[in-house]
């Protein structure tokens, strides 16, 4: 989940009141009058500045200004310096990571750039993070049962699944994780085609 703030926004000569949301890779504005949301992917923002409590961004469609107050400078920094996928997933130097399932080559490179302790195709008992890739609800339960046996203490499990597929939905992943006794704590966009949901063992069961 990203950050949000009620504010006024200026898109050229158009002034709107509504809610701004800063997600991991885009800035979204939802007008209070029910008109269509404005989505500004970070990759399309040409420049960003925080000036006197206002966030000024230059987009392909012209300038946009968000009256955010003290939040403006913080949001500007996040737009100019977005977290990498590995950072969003909590991958830090030296940690132990286990993976099961199919992952894109870029993800392997990102992991190995952060840590040498990467275990493919198995769950290592020393793992701090476990990544489980599933493509259908049918395959989720057996894979999840295997993964939960390796989760101890503060070890976190990320379930990575495709977006917009009938074979597996967010509800399928959430319900399966909860049935396994885990607590869902975070969701992030893993890639343009996949989502990642993070689960941990509840504090009272560690």
pLDDT value at position 28? 95
Please state the three-class secondary structure of 80-137 as a single string. HCCCCHHHHCCCCCCCCEEEECCCCHHHHHHHHHHCCCEEECECCCCCCEEEEECCCH
Domain boundaries, the chain: 3-82, 86-205
Reported as a single tens digit per residue, the pLDDT across 143-164 is 888 888 878 888 999 999 999 8
pLDDT value at position 148? 84
pLDDT > 80? residue 170? yes
Residue pair 195/163 in contact (Cβ under 8 Å)? The answer is yes
| Integer Cα distance of 204 and 63 in angstroms | 50
pLDDT value at position 2? 64
Reported as a single tens digit per residue, the pLDDT across 96-125 is 999 999 998 999 999 999 899 999 988 888
Tell me what percent of the residues of the chain surpass a pLDDT of 90: 74
- Rg of the chain on CA atoms, in Å: 20
Reported as a single tens digit per residue, the pLDDT across 15-66 is 999 999 998 788 999 999 999 999 999 989 999 999 999 999 999 999 999 9
Reported as a single tens digit per residue, the pLDDT across 68-107 is 999 999 999 999 998 888 988 999 999 999 999 999 899 9
CATH number at 86-205: 3.40.50.150
**Residues recorded for the chain:** 206
pLDDT > 70? residue 1? no
Mean pLDDT of the chain, nearest integer:
92
Residue pair 164/142 in contact (Cβ under 8 Å)? The answer is no
- Return all residues near 120 (Cβ < 8 A) that are at least 6 apart: 99, 108
Q: Nearest 5°: phi and psi at 111? A: -65, -45
Q: Which two tokens stand for residue 179?
A: 């049935």
**One fold for both 3-82 and 86-205?**
no
| Integer Cα distance of 39 and 53 in angstroms | 21
| Integer Cα distance of 141 and 150 in angstroms | 15
Classify the phi-psi angles of 184: left when phi > 0, otherwise alpha if psi is within -120 to 50, otherwise beta: beta
Reported as a single tens digit per residue, the pLDDT across 123-133 is 888 899 999 99
CATH topology of domain 3-82: PH-domain like (2.30.29)
Strands 54-59 and 47-51: antiparallel
């Amino acid at each position: 989940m990203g950050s949000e703030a009620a504010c006024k926004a200026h898109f050229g000569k158009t002034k709107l009141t509504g809610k701004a949301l800063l997600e991991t890779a885009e800035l979204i504005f939802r007008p209070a009058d029910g008109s269509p949301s404005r989505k500004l992917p970070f990759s399309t923002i040409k420049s960003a500045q925080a000036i006197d409590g206002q966030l000024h961004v230059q987009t392909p469609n012209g300038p946009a200004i968000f009256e955010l107050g003290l939040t403006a400078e913080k949001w500007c920094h996040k737009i100019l310096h977005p977290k990498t996928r590995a950072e969003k997933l909590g991958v830090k130097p030296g940690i132990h990571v286990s993976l099961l399932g199919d992952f894109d080559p870029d993800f392997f490179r990102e992991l190995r750039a952060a840590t040498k302790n990467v275990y493919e195709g198995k769950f290592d008992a020393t793992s701090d993070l476990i990544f489980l890739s599933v493509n259908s609800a049918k395959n989720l339960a057996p894979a999840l049962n295997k993964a939960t046996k390796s989760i101890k203490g503060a070890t976190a499990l990320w379930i990575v699944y495709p977006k917009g597929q009938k074979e597996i939905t967010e509800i399928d992943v959430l319900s399966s994780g909860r049935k396994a006794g885990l607590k869902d704590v975070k969701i992030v966009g893993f890639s343009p085609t996949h989502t990642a949901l993070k689960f941990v063992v509840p504090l009272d069961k560690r």
